[in-house]
Amino acid sequence: MKVKLAENPVAISERKPLCRRESNNVDIEDILAHTPEDPSIAFSTVFELGGPGGEALVKSPGNTVCNTHSRLATIAKYVASTGQILNIGDVPSWMREEVCNDEDEESDFTTRCILCMPIFNGQKTVIGVAQLINKVTRQPFTDCDVSIFEAFAIFCGLGIHNTQMYENACKLMAKQKVFQRYLTFCGIGIQNAQLFEMSILEFERNQ
Return the percent helix, strand and coil in the chain, to nearest 5: 45, 20, 35
Q: Where are the domains of the chain?
A: 2-163
Render pLDDT for 69-106 as a digit per residue (tens, 0 to 9): 577 778 888 888 888 888 888 887 777 654 444 544 44
pTM for the model stands at: 0.64
Q: How many residues does the chain have?
A: 207
**Out of 20-29, 73-82, 116-125, 186-195, which region has the weakest mean confidence (pLDDT)?**
20-29
The answer for residues whose C-beta is within 8 angstroms of residue 33's C-beta and 6 or more apart is none
Of the CA atoms within 13 Å of residue 151, those in its CB half-sphere come to 5
Q: Which fold has domain 2-163?
A: Beta-Lactamase (3.30.450)
Rounded to an integer, what distance in angstroms lies between the CA atom of residue 142 and that of residue 137? Answer: 12
